[in-house]
Amino acid sequence: MRTLAIVNQKGGVGKTTIAINLSAALAREGHRVLVVDMDPQGHCAVGTAVPEEQIEQGVYECLAAESAEAGEAKPTLESIAWQITPNLFLAPSRTHLADLEKSGAADRSGCHLLARALDRVDSLYDFAVVDCPPHLGALMYNALHAADEVVIPVETGYFSLQGLTKQLETVEAIRRKRTAAMTVRIVANQYDVRTKLAREILCELKQEFKDLVLGTVINFNTKLKEGASFGQPITEFAPESMGARDFQSLARELAGRRQVVLTETVSQFADRIGQAGDRLLASRTPLVPSAASIVEPSKPAAGPAPGHVEPVRPAELPSHAQATRIPMSGTPVSTGSAGQPVGDRTVQAAGSDADRAHRRIEAALSDIYGPHQTQQGVVFRQKITGARQVELAGDFNGWLPHSTPLRRVDDSGLFEATVPLQPGRYRYRLVVDGRWSPDAANPNTERNEFGETMSVVEVK
24-38, 332-346, 350-364, 417-431: lowest mean pLDDT where?
A: 332-346
pLDDT in tens, 9-23: 877 788 999 999 999
Domain membership of residue 114 (yes or no) is yes
Domain membership of residue 295 (yes or no) is no
Instruction: Report how many domains make up the chain.
Output: 3
Claim to verify: residue 275 and residue 127 sit in the same structural domain: yes
Residue 330's pLDDT is: 37
Residue 436's pLDDT is: 87
144-148, 202-206, 283-287: lowest mean pLDDT where?
A: 283-287
Claim to verify: residue 151 and residue 198 sit in the same structural domain: yes
Claim to verify: residue 235 and residue 321 sit in the same structural domain: no
Residue 172's pLDDT is: 85
Residue 100's pLDDT is: 81
Mean pLDDT of 397-413: 87
Please report, for the domain that includes residue 55, its CATH number.
Answer: 3.40.50.300
Residues of the chain above pLDDT 90, percent:
32
| DSSP-assigned letters across all residues of 288-329 | S--GGG--PPPPPTT-PPTTEEPPP-GGGS-HHHHTEE--TT
Q: What is the DSSP letter of 142?
A: H
Claim to verify: residue 116 and residue 154 sit in the same structural domain: yes
pLDDT band with cut points at 50, 70 and 90 for residue 276: low
Residue 356's pLDDT is: 62
Residues of the chain above pLDDT 70, percent:
71
Domain membership of residue 291 (yes or no) is no
pLDDT band with cut points at 50, 70 and 90 for residue 411: confident
* Single-letter residue type at 241: S
Half-sphere exposure of 277 (CA within 13 A, CB side): 18
pLDDT in tens, 214-258: 989 999 888 998 998 899 999 999 998 999 999 999 999 998 854
Residue 361's pLDDT is: 47
Backbone dihedral angles phi then psi of residue 110, each to the nearest 5 degrees: -70, -20
pLDDT band with cut points at 50, 70 and 90 for residue 289: very low
Domain membership of residue 137 (yes or no) is yes
Domain membership of residue 21 (yes or no) is yes
Mean pLDDT of 62-89: 84
Residue 70's pLDDT is: 57
Domain membership of residue 453 (yes or no) is yes
Residue 460's pLDDT is: 86
On the question of pLDDT at 407 being above 60, the answer is yes
pLDDT band with cut points at 50, 70 and 90 for residue 428: very high
On the question of pLDDT at 337 being above 70, the answer is no
| CB distance 181 to 154 below 8 Å | no
Claim to verify: residue 351 and residue 377 sit in the same structural domain: no
On the question of pLDDT at 312 being above 50, the answer is no
On the question of pLDDT at 117 being above 90, the answer is yes
Claim to verify: residue 323 and residue 454 sit in the same structural domain: no
Query: For residues 174 and 152, what is the distance between their CA atoms, to the nearest angstrom?
Result: 15
Claim to verify: residue 107 and residue 189 sit in the same structural domain: yes
Claim to verify: residue 452 and residue 326 sit in the same structural domain: no
More confident residue, 431 or 264: 431
pLDDT band with cut points at 50, 70 and 90 for residue 6: very high
Claim to verify: residue 386 and residue 359 sit in the same structural domain: no
* Residue range(s) defining the domain that contains residue 320: 313-368
Residue 84's pLDDT is: 93
Average pLDDT, the chain: 77
Domain membership of residue 143 (yes or no) is yes
Claim to verify: residue 155 and residue 242 sit in the same structural domain: yes
| CB distance 431 to 380 below 8 Å | no
Query: For residues 85 and 236, what is the distance between their CA atoms, to the nearest angstrom?
Result: 9
99-108, 145-154, 405-414: lowest mean pLDDT where?
A: 99-108
Single out the residue of 166, 212, 204 nearest to residue 185, CA to CA.
212
Residue 325's pLDDT is: 34
E-strand ranges in 190-295 read: none
Claim to verify: residue 356 and residue 388 sit in the same structural domain: no
* Single-letter residue type at 205: L
Question: What is the pTM (predicted TM-score) of this model?
Answer: 0.57
Mean pLDDT of 292-315: 43
Domain membership of residue 306 (yes or no) is no
Claim to verify: residue 110 and residue 68 sit in the same structural domain: yes
On the question of pLDDT at 36 being above 80, the answer is yes
pLDDT band with cut points at 50, 70 and 90 for residue 146: very high
On the question of pLDDT at 357 being above 60, the answer is no
Please report, for the domain that includes residue 455, its CATH number.
Answer: 2.60.40.10
